[in-house]
Amino acid sequence: MSITSRNLVATSSHCPYCGLQCAMTITADSAAATPGDSARSATVEGRAFPTNRGGLCQKGWTSAELLRAPDRIVTPLVRRGDEFVETGWDEALDLIAGKIRAIQQQHGNDAIGVFGGGGLTNEKAYILGKFARVALRTSNIDYNGRWCMSSAAAAGIRSFGVDRGLPFPVSDLTRARAIMIYGGNVAETMPPFVGHLATAADAGGLIVVDPRRTATAARAEDGGGLHLQIKPGTDMALALGLAHIAITEGLIDRDYLDARTEGYDEYWPEVAQWLPERTERITGVPVSHMRRAVRILAASQRDDTGSYILTARGAEQHADGTDTVSAIIGLAMVLGLPGNRGSGYGCITGQGNGQGGREHGQKADQLPGYRKITDPAARAHVAAVWGIDADELPGPGKSAYELLDSLGQPGGVHALLVHGSNIALSAPRAGHIGERLEALDLLVVCDFVMSETAAMADVILPVLQWAEEEGTLTSLEGRVIRRRTAVVPPEGARGELVIWRGLAERLGQPAERFPVAPRAVFDELRRASAGGIADYSGVTYERLDAGEALHWPCPEQTAGAHPGTPRMFLDRFNTPTGRARFIAVGYRGPAESVDAAFPLIAITGRVLAQYQSGAQTRRVAELAQAAGEMFVQAHPDTAERCGLRNGDLAQLVSRRGTTRARVHCDETMRADTVFIPFHYPDAERANLITNPALDPTSRMPEFKVSAIRLENAT
């Protein structure tokens, strides 16, 4: 595309997709005749930054195309029968507020639910939590991050007293000669991350735990490292078995255990049961591979060449996900990794603001600053910032799946406001959740395209896109970054901050309680987070604009500016004793088992050219073409036993539903396992078959193990 205008302006910002938050420069025509011309002129290129070092993945390179989506919604839409009718903003907001009042009068305040997203800026996540609890007076707010990192968050809090995905900069991985990635495929989900693994991969020290030979696992094996091809759902057993090897072979860091940890005496009896041979029988990982993996990690720790263990969704999205991550953290602790400069444990955050999105009030049990909503001191602090009495704050609400499962039910939620999420595709047992959405008295969706959830709404409110707004996000390494306005938004679309103020005023709130300028919102967020675990009070737009790399906690100080905390736990952990806690856990296995009717295990995940539910990336022609159609990856022998060949159309049937996919035969797959991506709509939704069994602590559903059978769909 040629640009003839001389009014091109380059704006520094960040990619709209994953938690790596790659830096980019957006160039657009500042003197465009119409907002549409501004979007049509926009281009992106990678910018030097510690996380992506100038690189972008295919999704990042094509992100400007989303600004030109042909089906962009720019006018509020109200359902009239089977059709949507355009309406004005005042009419739409009046309608929503009137229905909210009527529903609450009939069913109570908690009959209104709010569902947020891990892509919202920190400012929007903060105000959304405030809007729910102050304007709506409901306890029922949660977000899709509950399905992303909640198990790792809960485990991190148990052991370290704090949840920050990576408690060290991503760039620290670059020098490490040993890295274990437990249940993650970063080569496809965040390709620029792979550059930080090169030293470990080239040294034969990259270890990948995954049921599939993913692109990341292939990179490990190609460099002489290891792929531990685990049976789905046995992640905890493997972690306990690896820890057993480390302890019995004398590879533990005894000085570290004595000085920096507690709870080992309760932890060891559980680990003692996991003899290598037993672990192999349950997980399918050969003893020789387990021994070699532990020795690689231990050797790099002893030699001070860097040793890290990183978890991701493959280890976490289970009904025992919190305990599984606790077992993996236990392995890291016996090796002496957490809190050591040059080594460590961390969790790879998936969503763009998955870290910041859960810190400031979107989660059902949290207030800003990562405060617990049940803590009287936390309630008093936040209430004072908000100008209300602490007794006015509701208590904790339902977790994400439980909230959705209650829709339209007696005593449940009767109106739902959805922001930054496509739950019709992303929720487990999606067919059932679709029925629950249809049972609502009111469904309001804020979006800029007709997502599958928006298509079910009673009211759709058109919002701004990533390059049309400003704010802050927090990357997977706890780094607060700036998003800046780079293109002119289309006429008619509004930012969520403006929308929430409009609704709050109609519900009786003073306008000044809900600021609409992101900078003013962030200043309030700073005050609300002050003294909390995730303390942002020392972070300002001015410091971020000056290029400072500010990782939380970054408290405000009277004497000099706090530099932020890029590396946590170097001196002490955030526990009462300052020591990291071992958590003794027992292996239970998946929530459901295979049997004669459902003999295979289906696992879900992402592909390179798509993101999340695909509502955005499926609209980019280059990405849609690269990703192709919905598929099921299976071993050729597995397909043959099911009467299928490569290229056949198959259906996957679970105890909850059926989905459809094209067969891709792959000899590297386990014979008992098939893989499907979760980006596709309608009858090809992966989550039609997934299990909503919940982790008792994190309330994470078991996305990663579904007992299924594979049938010919033709």
Tokens linked to 163 = 């949840």
Q: Model-level pTM?
A: 0.96
Give the range among 291-300, 322-331, 345-354, 537-546 with minimum mean pLDDT.
345-354
Query: Which amino acid is residue 597, in one-letter code?
Result: A
Q: How far is Cα of residue 512 from the mean position of the Cα atoms in its chain?
A: 32
In tens, the pLDDT along 137-157 reads: 999 999 999 998 899 999 999
Rounded to 10 degrees, the C-alpha dihedral 300/301/306/308 comes to 100
pLDDT range class, residue 31, cuts 50, 70, 90 = low
Tokens linked to 169 = 């900069």
Question: Which positions ≥6 away from 61 have C-beta within 8 Å?
Answer: 44
Closest CA to 23 of 64, 66, 60: 60
Mean pLDDT within 46-66: 95
CB 471 within 8 A of CB 123: yes
Closest CA to 470 of 412, 518, 504: 518
Query: How far apart are the C-alpha atoms of 432 and 442, rounded to whole Å?
Result: 18
Give the range among 238-247, 553-562, 592-601 with minimum mean pLDDT.
553-562
> How far is CA 121 from each of CA 190, 374, 419, 464, rounded to the nearest angstrom?
20, 25, 11, 12
In tens, the pLDDT along 601-658 reads: 999 999 999 999 999 999 999 999 999 999 999 999 999 999 999 999 999 999 999 9
Q: How many CB atoms lie within 10 A of CB 629?
A: 11
Whole-number average pLDDT of the chain: 95
Query: How far apart are the C-alpha atoms of 477 and 354, rounded to whole Å?
Result: 11
Query: Which amino acid is residue 88, in one-letter code?
Result: G
Q: Is 560 left (phi over 0), alpha (psi -120 to 50) or beta?
A: left
- Residue 653 is predicted with a pLDDT of 98
Angle at 643 between CA 642 and CA 644, to 5 degrees: 95
Query: How far apart are the C-alpha atoms of 318 and 314, rounded to whole Å?
Result: 8
Tokens linked to 285 = 């990982």
Domain range annotation of the chain: 8-66, 77-147+354-361+368-551, 151-347, 600-712
- Residue 33 is predicted with a pLDDT of 55
* pLDDT > 90? residue 3: no
Rounded to 10 degrees, the C-alpha dihedral 198/199/201/205 comes to -150
* pLDDT > 90? residue 379: yes
* pLDDT > 50? residue 1: no
Mean pLDDT within 508-527: 98
Percent of the chain with pLDDT over 70: 98
- Residue 4 is predicted with a pLDDT of 43
CB 674 within 8 A of CB 710: yes
DSSP 557-619: -SSS-----SS-SSS--SSTTSSEEP--------SS---SSS-EEEEEE--TT--TTSTTGGG
In tens, the pLDDT along 170-223 reads: 999 999 999 999 999 999 999 999 999 999 999 999 999 999 999 999 999 999
pLDDT range class, residue 437, cuts 50, 70, 90 = very high
Assigned architecture for domain 77-147+354-361+368-551 = 3-Layer(aba) Sandwich (3.40)
- Residue 6 is predicted with a pLDDT of 57
- Residue 36 is predicted with a pLDDT of 67
Question: Which positions ≥6 away from 112 have C-beta within 8 Å?
Answer: 100, 103, 104, 136, 138, 140, 413, 414, 415, 416, 417
End-to-end C-alpha distance for the chain, whole angstroms: 43
Query: How far apart are the C-alpha atoms of 619 and 151, rounded to whole Å?
Result: 31
* pLDDT > 80? residue 677: yes
Question: Which positions ≥6 away from 464 have C-beta within 8 Å?
Answer: 448, 489, 493, 494, 495, 496
- Residue 714 is predicted with a pLDDT of 86
The strand pairing partners of 77, in sequence order, are: 86, 460
Tokens linked to 421 = 């999420």
| 3-state class (DSSP) for residue 427 | coil
Q: Where are the alpha helices (DSSP H) in 303-439?
A: 313-316, 321-334, 354-357, 376-386, 400-405, 423-426, 430-438
Closest CA to 118 of 464, 359, 351, 424: 351
Assigned architecture for domain 600-712 = Beta Barrel (2.40)
Taking the CA atoms of 554, 560, 566 and 572 in sequence, report the sign of the dihedral they define.
negative
Question: Which positions ≥6 away from 162 have C-beta within 8 Å?
Answer: 156, 370, 533, 568, 573, 574
Q: How many CB atoms lie within 10 A of CB 281?
A: 10
The correct CATH number of 151-347 out of 3.40.228.10, 3.30.70.20, 1.10.10.10, 2.40.110.20 is 3.40.228.10
Rounded to 10 degrees, the C-alpha dihedral 209/210/212/217 comes to -40
- Burial class from Cβ neighbours inside 10 Å (0-12, 13-18, 19+) for residue 109 reads middle
DSSP 40-97: HH-EEEE---TTTTT---HHHHTHHHHTT-TT---S-EEEETTEEEE--HHHHHHHHH
Angle at 706 between CA 705 and CA 711, to 5 degrees: 140
DSSP 225-268: -EEE-PPTT-HHHHHHHHHHHHHHTT-S-HHHHHHHEE-HHHHH
Instruction: Assign 3-class secondary structure to 535-573.
Output: CCCCCCHHHHHCCCCEECCCCCCCCCCCCCCCCCCCCCC
Query: How far apart are the C-alpha atoms of 40 and 632, rounded to whole Å?
Result: 36
Q: Which fold has domain 8-66?
A: N-terminal domain of TfIIb (2.20.25)
Percent of the chain with pLDDT over 90: 93
* pLDDT > 90? residue 442: yes
